[in-house]
Chains A and B, each alone.
Chain A
């Protein structure tokens, strides 16, 4: 591709310093890759290889110790590795999404309001935002009786569906997915897949970890294996990442 990448990760390194053990834990070192709009990157690797840690380091709930994550935001280019906290907060509100296995259920907020909130914050009129929220709750298979209920009492799978509907209701520029299918039934998995394909076609760049990568096989453009540090592109050509 000739366009400027949306994301240029260069030499990204994460080490945890654990003072109570007086030790260091190297999660990953020198990870580099580019990601363009509409590209889907799959992260692979054994348990503990650093997949979740890499996503969290880009999202900045973990702080990197080295490297760069140059991101082309709507407000200009910025290095997420050292950006100010308030800039990260702004990008999380406007451009970058992160879906994990866990819903951050808030007390006394109905499922449909949790899902429609990103649209309302973006200025979509209340009625239209609610319509869309119900559409996505329906797509992911959340029963209409639950739309006005509070998700804190939902089953794990139902909570995850609310979580996904909220995260995917509005196309973001960059989407980080950490095993989003973990507690989903087949119907919701299929809906997720359809939505991801749609977002990708819309230009959303996606980095994901999937327990069953077969689920998303048609979407994958590139893979990085964090156990072996091998990058393979869609042609199957492999390139060893410089350490």
Chain B
């Protein structure tokens, strides 16, 4: 039997067994900055409880996509839905600015690589977490303090430092404060943009460990961007590979790493082995 040398892997079918609906659905997202096409017709689907990893070279559009998911920015075109009660079929990009902010504060948490983006560096750590609760309408001082403490504790932040300002803390601690702020309201979706990049390897391992724990105990749906394949490999269930604003490949994490289909992914994986 002669085999067509160009034979690609079989096209995958639509889900048939999985009965849960996706939590996050993005369709046909495009975004240009001047003549830079940061995102080109990107589709993304994330199911409840999954960790979706996004890898790709610098400038491939990962952070831009995450900012769209966090409703910080709107695309030139495309739809975004989250299966939140009462909002199932709404294109979130159509919401008014204020509504977007409220929805984001209540249902989406984000951790940035740069803690200055996520934290008020001169407020106390517990204050940073409480601020998130205030936005959502919590007013009782005792409840604010208890909930902030609980979130910091779940993020494995040392509670004897909760009155310290982030500016006085190490990078790993700052990331834990961001994480506590992100999970304080038990978000449906947790977005992580290079959460451990720039940390010492040992600190990085501890922060990842905390994330794994949270994922295991609370089944939080996560989208994790990292250019570190090791991070993605230990965390993600599925992976999207981005290049030049496009998704060139996606699949189960072990498949993408062990049997990459796209020439770019093969290069990426082999470079790290």
Chain A residues with CB under 8 Å of chain B are 13, 15-20, 24, 26, 29-30, 56, 60-66, 73, 75-76, 78-79, 81-91, 106-108, 243
Contacts and interface: CB of A to CB of B under 8 A. Distances in A.
Contact of A243 (B1, B15, B250): B1
A83 B266 contact: no
Interface stretch (B32-40, B85-93, B254-262): B254-262
Looking at chain B, what size class is its interface with the partner chain? 35 or more
Interface in B28-83: 47, 50
A83 B12 contact: yes
Nearest to B13: A82
Contact of A79 (B13, B47, B50, B261): B13
Contact of B3 (A29, A76, A83): A29
A90 B237 CA distance: 11
A84 B13 contact: yes
B259 A61 contact: yes
B28 to A, nearest CB: 20
Given A56-B258, A63-B9, A89-B237, A84 B3 contact: no
Interface of B, secondary structure class, is loop
Contacts of B258: 56, 61-62
A63 B92 CA distance: 35
B205 interface: yes
A84 B15 contact: yes
B207 to A, nearest CB: 11
A29 B3 CA distance: 9
B147 interface: no
Given A61-B252, A78-B17, A66 B7 contact: yes
Given A63-B251, A65-B10, A90-B17, 10 more contacts: A13-B3, A18-B266, A64-B9, A66-B7, A75-B17, A86-B238, A87-B18, A89-B50, A89-B237, A108-B213
Contacts of A66: 7, 10
